[in-house]
Homo-oligomer: A and B are copies of this chain.
Amino acid sequence: MAEHETPEAKGRALVQTLIGGIPPNSVMPPDFQKTTIEHLFGTVWQDERLDFQRRSLITCTALVAMGREAEQRIHFVGARNLGISREEISAMISHIAHYAGWPNAVSAFRVLKEVWPEEEEAGG
């Protein structure tokens, strides 16, 4: 990532990597989308104390711990696109089952099965 890039450029590039870009029909209003791209993805995620892979893993972890299935759909796909293996995500969910409860884990496995079918692992 070039040092001189703006937060907006960095944020857009990261969203491109994670999920192929911002969907044209996003539910976010323009001001919140701008904050999300420039501040969240373009600044917070760019802090080099944690690399993208680890940020993806902890984001997925928080989403499982909080039981937010809609956002797991985005970030499980993002994890795959950053090169995290399906087995790591699966092991994380089993681990978090003990810290945030079985119901959150079972729901997360349901999302994982839907957005990242097992057969895709080899070619992923």
Contacts and interface: CB of A to CB of B under 8 A. Distances in A.
A28 B109 contact: yes
The number of times this chain is found in the oligomer is: 6
A92 interface: yes
Interface residues of A, number: 53
A92 B44 contact: no
A90 interface: yes
Contact of A55 (B95, B100, B105): B95
A61 B58 CA distance: 6
A100 B67 CA distance: 11
B65 A109 contact: no
Nearest to A49: B91
Given A49-B87, A107-B68, A109-B27, A102 B99 contact: yes
Interface of A: 27-29, 31-32, 35-36, 39-40, 44-45, 47, 49-50, 54-55, 57-59, 61-68, 70-71, 87-88, 90-107, 109-110, 112-113
